[in-house]
Amino acid sequence: MREERHPSLSRLTTLGIGGYAKAIFYPETVEDLQTVQERIAEAGRPYVLGRGSNTLAQDGELDLVVVKPAFAETIAASSEDDGVRVRVSASCMLPKLLAYTASHGYAGLEALAGIPGTLGGAIAMNAGSFGTEIGSLVSEVTVWQNGTLLRIPRSDLSFGYRSFRFPHQDAFFVITEALLTLGRGKAEELVSAQKAHLATKRNRQPITEKSAGCVFKNPEGCFAGKLLEEAGLKGARLGGMAFSTLHANFMINTGQGTAQEAFALIEKAKDAVYAKHGLVLTPEVRIVPCLP
């Protein structure tokens, strides 16, 4: 198993900001996870990282050990009466999975086009887009926790808005794979649907900038982006961090941004939205280490 001392979180996250963890482990197998568990006991607080596309890391020296699964990116499909079962490794990147499912005529994931994370991160976040959440397609999730590999059926999983839970969940768990149930469709139509979703995102979101997607969750019944825009935050800048001029809920690192600037901008936005609308925005991005 590969490991490094003192990795930079700015290199490991799509926002491109953050300080240094104590170490990073790249487990490739369940046996490696066991070794990681033994090693982190003495090393520091663990954080499981996928592609880092929903992660905002703090600056400086962090009391953190990063566990970045490096499992083989396998995808295996089997046909059943009620659809197609697709077993996918947690390290598989969503764009790779979507390319596979569309080209094989397996339907359901099209709306998730353009989400740049791993399958593990997508499950942990219950990632969603254009009305589809990945949780709605999950039949089973395999989780490694405390030395045991648990195969958790859908009936025991709870997916909420950007949240995922299972019974007896500890703070440190690693999703190793998931079983999805997909429908059937025509490959050309599924490929076109994905392209159409991606084109819409390109027009509305700064997908080529350094960001972590939407910073805030949508409060019940409204869009955080609209609230931010109405509160005057669209394009607002602080040092190297800014709210996008294309989509106010995307905070981007314009170059030399820092986490300190990101947090200051987040607080400014929360205050402005509260003053204007009386609503409290909560972050969708995972802040690491968590703020007290």
Shortest Å, Cβ 79 to ligand FAD: 27
> Does 121 contact ligand FAD by CB under 6 A?
yes
Q: Is 80 a catalytic residue?
A: no
Q: What are phi and psi of 107, to 5 degrees?
A: -100, 150
Say how far apart CA 151 and CA 250 lie, in whole Å: 35
Q: Considering the rule CB under 6 A, would residue 53 count as an interface residue with ligand FAD? A: yes
The verdict on whether 284 is a catalytic residue reads yes
Stretch touching ligand FAD by CB under 6 A, among 23-31, 172-180, 189-197, 224-232 = 172-180
Does position 175 bind ligand FAD by CB under 6 A? yes
Q: Pick between residue 249 and residue 272 the one whose CB is nearest to ligand FAD.
A: 249
Work out which of 21, 23, 36, 90 binds ligand FAD, going by CB under 6 A. Answer: 90
The answer to whether 22 touches 44, Cβ cutoff 8 Å, is yes
- For residues 73-96, one letter each, b for 16 or more C-beta atoms within 10 angstroms of the residue's C-beta and e for the rest, the string is eebeeeeeeebbbbbbbbbbbbbe
Contact in structure between 120 and 91 (CB atoms under 8 Å): yes
Cis peptide before 289 (omega within 30 of 0): yes
**SS3 (DSSP) at 137:** helix
SS3 percent helix, strand, coil of the chain, rounded to 5, is 30, 30, 35
Nearer to ligand FAD, 125 or 272 (CB): 125
Say if residues 113 and 194 touch (Cβ distance below 8 Å). Answer: yes
The residue assigned the tokens 């703090």 is 58
Q: Candidates 1-9, 96-104, 207-215, 262-270 — which segment interacts with ligand FAD by CB under 6 A?
A: 207-215
Task: State the Cα–Cα distance between residues 237 and 222, nearest whole angstrom.
Answer: 24
Cα torsion angle, 30, 33, 37, 42, sign: positive
Chain Cα centroid distance, residue 248: 19
Position 185 contacts ligand FAD (CB under 6 A): no
Catalytic residue among 162, 177, 261, 286: 162
261 included as an active-site residue:
no
Asked whether the beta carbons of 127 and 214 are under 8 A apart, the reply is no
Instruction: Give the one residue of 145, 181, 211, 253 binding ligand FAD; rule: CB under 6 A.
Output: 211
Q: Which stretch binds ligand FAD (CB under 6 A): 77-85, 173-181, 221-229, 266-274?
A: 173-181
Question: Which of 10, 37, 58, 129 lies at the binding interface for ligand FAD (CB under 6 A)?
Answer: 129
Site string for ligand FAD, 14-33 (x = CB under 6 A): x-------------------
CB of 57 to ligand FAD, least distance (A): 10
CA distance 16 to 154: 35
Candidates 98-106, 116-124, 152-160, 270-278; binding stretch for ligand FAD (CB under 6 A): 116-124
Q: Which residues are catalytic?
A: 162, 214, 284
List of residues contacting ligand FAD (CB under 6 A): 14, 47-55, 69, 90, 114-118, 120-122, 124-125, 127-129, 173-175, 207, 211-213, 286
